């Protein structure tokens, strides 16, 4: 049987890197893609390939797909893993940053899928694995833009699943929970940078505390656990439509299905409510917005 070829984006660290390594162990020909190919030495060392790809750059994505097709004539599995968390109050986050969040987390995913679909349709076979998050089912204060992208990935994937089923192509959503990667540090830093000295400062500090606690909790796990789930889905003849992982993520997604919105709101408020110390610290740090001046009459 001919080896299947997989393309994994965001493969320079975390879930993407571990997924590439796991797929190699399962016998796939694997191409890891990231903006910096030199950060994928572990994948190359394990027998995989590294290609430079920026999912916000159409020419970069085209060139990567063409390189793989020229070498192997096929891409059997696409793992759309590239993404990041941009946090901060909606009022504070510049709209250009919000657009970039969608460019990376949604439009890059969609465009790369467009590029691999013709070959998959021609063979009437293929698997698209979209990395969402439990954040595509639940929500947090100061996470509006990030959660909007993951809710979008969920809806896009559902439509795509039924759209592509007649063509023999499977679409799977992976919903990681608390995973110990650099994602959390980037998200925490963005929350403080955007809202750490605004009217939302206390909430930003509470968010940072909650994300740090999640990383330390027994419910958090390492990226290889998610990678094993992705490899399982990629190799299945009839994969499930969604995989929440680890167990703590399954519990959270399950509770979201059965609890009414107001009940979930209360849980969210209890987790992300600022302490007295955080409120006091925020009062000292808060500064007025430059955009608070009303210029409509100028």
Helix (H) or strand (E) holding 169: strand 169-176
Catalytic residue among 12, 86, 184, 190: 12
Q: Which of 75, 54, 65 is nearest to 12 (CA)?
A: 54
Check if 270 is active-site: no
| Other CB atoms within 10 Å distance of the CB of residue 115 | 18
What distance in Å separates the CA atoms of residue 105 and residue 84, rounded to the nearest whole number?
A: 7
Catalytic residue among 31, 87, 139, 146: 146
What distance in Å separates the CA atoms of residue 258 and residue 256, rounded to the nearest whole number?
A: 6
Catalytic residue among 31, 86, 87, 132: 132
Distances (CA, A) of 114 to 51, 64, 80, 104, 173: 19, 13, 12, 15, 17
- Residue 68 · residue 30 · CB < 8 Å: no
Catalytic residue among 150, 187, 243, 248: 150
CB burial of 29-44 (b: ≥16 within 10 Å; e: otherwise) equals bbbbbbeebeebebbe
Is 28 buried (19+), middle (13-18) or exposed (0-12) by CB count in 10 A?
buried
Check if 150 is active-site: yes
What distance in Å separates the CA atoms of residue 226 and residue 140, rounded to the nearest whole number?
A: 22
- Residue 167 · residue 124 · CB < 8 Å: yes
Per-residue DSSP letter, 274: P
Check if 248 is active-site: no
Angle among Cα 67, 71, 72 to the nearest 5 degrees reads 115
Positions marked active-site: 12, 132, 146, 150
């Amino acid at each position: 049987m001919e080896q299947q070829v997989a393309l994994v984006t965001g493969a320079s660290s975390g879930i993407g890197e571990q997924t590439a390594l796991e797929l190699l162990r399962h016998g796939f020909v694997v191409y890891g893609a990231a903006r910096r190919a030199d950060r994928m030495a572990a994948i190359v060392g394990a027998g995989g390939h590294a290609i430079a790809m920026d999912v916000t750059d159409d020419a970069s994505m085209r060139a990567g797909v063409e390189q793989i097709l020229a070498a192997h004539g096929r891409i059997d599995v696409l793992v759309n893993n590239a993404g990041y968390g941009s946090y901060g109050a909606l009022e504070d986050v510049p709209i250009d940053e919000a657009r970039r969040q969608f460019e990376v987390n949604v439009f890059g995913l969609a465009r790369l899928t467009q590029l691999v679909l013709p070959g998959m349709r021609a063979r009437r076979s293929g698997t698209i694995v979209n990395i969402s998050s439990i954040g595509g089912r639940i929500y947090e204060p100061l996470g509006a833009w990030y959660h909007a992208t993951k809710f979008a990935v969920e809806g896009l994937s559902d439509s795509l699943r039924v759209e592509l089923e007649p063509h023999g192509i499977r679409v799977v959503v992976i919903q990681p929970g608390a995973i110990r990667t650099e994602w959390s540090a980037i998200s925490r830093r963005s929350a403080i940078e955007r809202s750490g000295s605004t009217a939302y400062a206390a909430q930003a500090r509470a968010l940072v505390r909650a994300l740090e606690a999640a990383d330390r909790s027994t419910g958090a796990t390492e990226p290889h656990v998610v990678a094993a789930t992705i490899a399982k889905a990629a190799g299945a003849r009839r994969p499930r439509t969604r995989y929440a992982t680890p167990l703590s993520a399954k519990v959270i997604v399950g509770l979201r299905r059965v609890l009414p919105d107001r009940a979930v709101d209360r849980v969210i408020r209890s987790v992300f409510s600022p302490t007295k110390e955080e409120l006091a610290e925020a009062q000292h740090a808060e500064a007025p917005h430059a955009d608070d001046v009303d210029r409509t009459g100028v």
